[in-house]
Every structure is written in structure tokens, then in C-alpha cells.
Amino acid sequence: MILSLDRQIPLSTLSEINKYIHKVKIGYPLILENIEYLDDIVKLHWDEIIFDLKLADIDNTMVLIVSKFINYADSFIAHSFVGIEGALDKLSEFLKNQNKSLYLVLSMSHKGWNDEFYPYLKNIAKTIDPKGFVVGATRPNMIRIVRNDFRNKIIISPGVGAQGAMIGDAICNGADYEIIGRSIYESKDPVTEAKKIIETQEVKINECKRTEN
């Protein structure tokens, strides 16, 4: 599980959540709300801090943007549709030189996303060879397709909870991590909610394993 954090919550609460969820994805709203809070997030020693900037620009602009946050993040998310030459090629090269990782968006979780472009995105993904991909948990068929096309890449899946995807379904369809945010940080007791979600996910995964066997 990856915690999606788009707003500031008490550091003590975040520290407790970190005991159960060891990766965090940081969105623009939180960065714009309080950039100094990022220092506190880093001090919690997450297994991975992913900056979800949905980068989609020319190479120079994207490199300048990630340069501002290079000391905070382990990985960055970019859109794949911007293409390779003069865009993702230089971004990928820059991040590799900085010992940072890249995730490319192949399928988003909202209803308006069009997966007809996937063949084009897949070709870009094969060339760039990132750490992994973002594929919406609300699109289980696309998770299966991407897993079949990229068997050794990490798939992270947003859209669990508030956007309608059921906990554990993305994992059962081939994702490595599910991303959940509002269901945790908007709850009255985020720590307890995080524990419940992890338990629910484990039950679902075990059910899938039994079905496969």
C-alpha cells in the first residue's frame, strides 16, 4: 500500500501511519500548502517517497521542476504521452544520473481517461524503461494488460477507496501497490483506518490466492 498525501496532517499521526504503510506519494496540493512540511515527511524515513507531479512538458522544464524537489523524493511521476525526444529522454537521463526513479502514467483512474492511446504509450514506455507505471485501480483490465506487457516492472494503482476501486482488487489483477489517500487522511481516526485497510487488503489478496489455486 502507498499513502497518497495531498494535504497536511499532524506529524504524530503521519508517523503512526508510517508503521503500517511504508511508502508515500506526495501531490501538488500538499507541496503548495506547506513546502516546509516536506522536511518533516523525509525525516520519517519512508521506504519510498514518490512525487506525483504528473510532469508533461518539454525536457528542460521538467528537469527544472524535479531539480527543485530532488532532495525530497526518491521517485517522480510523469505522463508518457509527451513523447520521448525533447521530453522524457532527457528527464529519464537526468533522474538516473541523480539516482532517482521515474514512473510513467499509462492509464489514469478517472472516467474521462481514454485507453485507446495505450499502444502509443506502451511504445514510449518500452523505450524509456522506467522503474514502473501508474495504472488506475478502477481499470482492472488495463492492469492485467500492462502486467502482461511489462512483467518485471512495478505497477502502482491509484483510485482505491474514494474513486470507487475496492481494496485489494488491483493487487489481484497484477498491481504491486495500491494507492489510497482520502479514505485515510479524511477519516476521524486515520491511524485506525490505515490499519483496517491493510487488514482488508491482506484478506482480499489471500482470497485471490485461494481462487488461483
Given a contact cutoff of 8 angstroms between Cβ atoms, the answer to whether 83 and 123 are in contact is: no
Q: How far apart are CA 109 and CA 138, in angstroms?
A: 5
188 CB neighbour count, 10 Å cutoff: 6
Q: Is 126 a catalytic residue?
A: no
Gap between the Cα atoms of 180 and 92, Å rounded: 26
Annotated catalytic residue within 23, 52, 131, 169: 52
Query: 137: annotated binding-site residue?
Result: no
Residues comprising the chain, all counted: 213
All 3 cell numbers of residue 11?
Answer: 506529524
| Whether residue 47 lies in the annotated active site | no
Strands (E), 56-166: 75-79, 101-107, 132-135, 154-157
Q: How many CA atoms lie within 13 A of 12 on its CB side?
A: 1
54 is in an annotated binding site: yes
Per-chain mean pLDDT for the chain: 94
Kindly tell me if the per-residue pLDDT of 164 is higher than 80. Answer: no
**83 a known binding residue?**
no
- Angle between the N-to-C axes of helices 140-149 and 118-128, in degrees from 0 to 180, rounded to the nearest 10: 40
- Confidence bin at 170 (pLDDT 50/70/90): very high
Name the pLDDT band for 213 (thresholds 50, 70, 90): low
End-to-end alpha carbon distance in the chain:
24
For residues 133 and 75, give the distance between their C-alpha atoms in angstroms, rounded to a whole number.
12
Whether this prediction's pTM lies above 0.85 is answered by yes
Helix (H) or strand (E) holding 52: strand 48-55
The pLDDT value recorded for residue 210 is 82
Q: Is 174 annotated as a binding residue?
A: no
Residue 195, φ and ψ in degrees, nearest 5: -60, -45
Distance CA 92, CA 82 (A): 13
Name the catalytic one among 57, 74, 89, 115.
Answer: 57
Whether residue 164 is annotated as binding a ligand: the answer is yes
Report whether 6 belongs to an annotated binding site: yes
CB 9 within 8 A of CB 41: no
Domains and CATH numbers, the chain: 2-212 (3.20.20.70)
Least confident of 55-59, 60-64, 108-112: 108-112
* pLDDT at residue 112 in the model: 86
Closest CA to 54 of 91, 27, 83: 27
Residue of 54, 100, 122, 196 with catalytic role: 54
pLDDT surpasses 90 at 23:
yes
Active site residue 129: no
- Say if residue 131 carries a ligand binding annotation: no
Is the pLDDT at 163 greater than 90? The verdict is: no
